[in-house]
Amino acid sequence: MNAIISAPELASDLAGPNPPVVLDIRWQLGGPNLRSAYEEAHIPGAAYVDLDSELAAPAGAAGRHPLPDMEVFGAAVRAAGVSENRDVVVYDGGLGWAAARAWWLLRWTGHPSVRVLDGGLAAWSGPVESGSPSPSVGTFVPAPGALSLLDADGAAALARTGLLLDARAAERYRGDVEPIDRVGGHIPGAVSAPTTENVAESGLFRPAADLADHFKSLGATGTSEVGVYCGSGVSGAHEVLALTVAGIPAALYVGSWSEWSQDDNRPVATGPDPQ
């Protein structure tokens, strides 16, 4: 199954005999959650899941968006109607980062069928509804480990032996600016690969063949392992999603730069080159 779904495909599936569970993951970095926007208008039947409190643990030594407590995560997605034997579609406002985080977590914890709405709510031209529906409680129990996961040491090693992609903006990779974390720059050996390069001007993902060529140009030749990090494990999930669309498996370093940069003993590279 493709990891993404178009708005027309979702509309067709929702009208079919076995509609998917739909999750609204709208989110803004550093701001209040967007539950109020969800309650004003969302795809019919969609349930809201909060990234900061339900798809991540509190910020700390493990980064700004560490892996969530599995009990909290499991309870949240079951309350939203998620079961292991029912397809899931996740969406956000259109950027795709938050939806990709939900996609990655559900896939990492063993859900077999999760797709991201390509273009998010901005691409949806179907009906919307207001309020907060109460879906039937699902049965999904998270079982972590279905996708590859990196820690700081693993990311450092992969930057030397394989391909480690940095999904942040190029200026943050170079260390020209750092608006959030303690220090700017990148993990030595990592290659700059901003998430903005994964999508077309329309906001939709580039075709799979284009993405495959793009990642091949960055060093994803199929002969070495690929890993991704970003600022705090959110936009990096979008890069893993793009790699998946391109047919390239990749591991995610969830702690990402927000964890890496907290430790003075970890090296930092600056400038446009990996080393």
Q: Are 257 and 181 in contact (CB under 8 A)?
A: yes
Residue 269: strand pairing partners: 186
Q: Which residues contact 56 (CB under 8 A, 6 or more apart)?
A: 64, 65, 66, 67, 68, 101, 233
CA distances from 144 to 4, 107, 139, 157 (A): 22, 9, 16, 22
Work out the burial of residue 23: count CB atoms within 10 Å of its CB; fewer than 13 is exposed, 13-18 middle, 19 or more buried. Answer: buried
Q: Are 38 and 93 in contact (CB under 8 A)?
A: no
Catalytic-labelled residue, pool 230, 237, 245, 250: 230
Q: Are 243 and 220 in contact (CB under 8 A)?
A: yes
Half-sphere exposure of 175 (CA within 13 A, CB side): 16
Residue 108 appears among annotated catalytic residues: no
Catalytic residue numbers, as ranges: 230
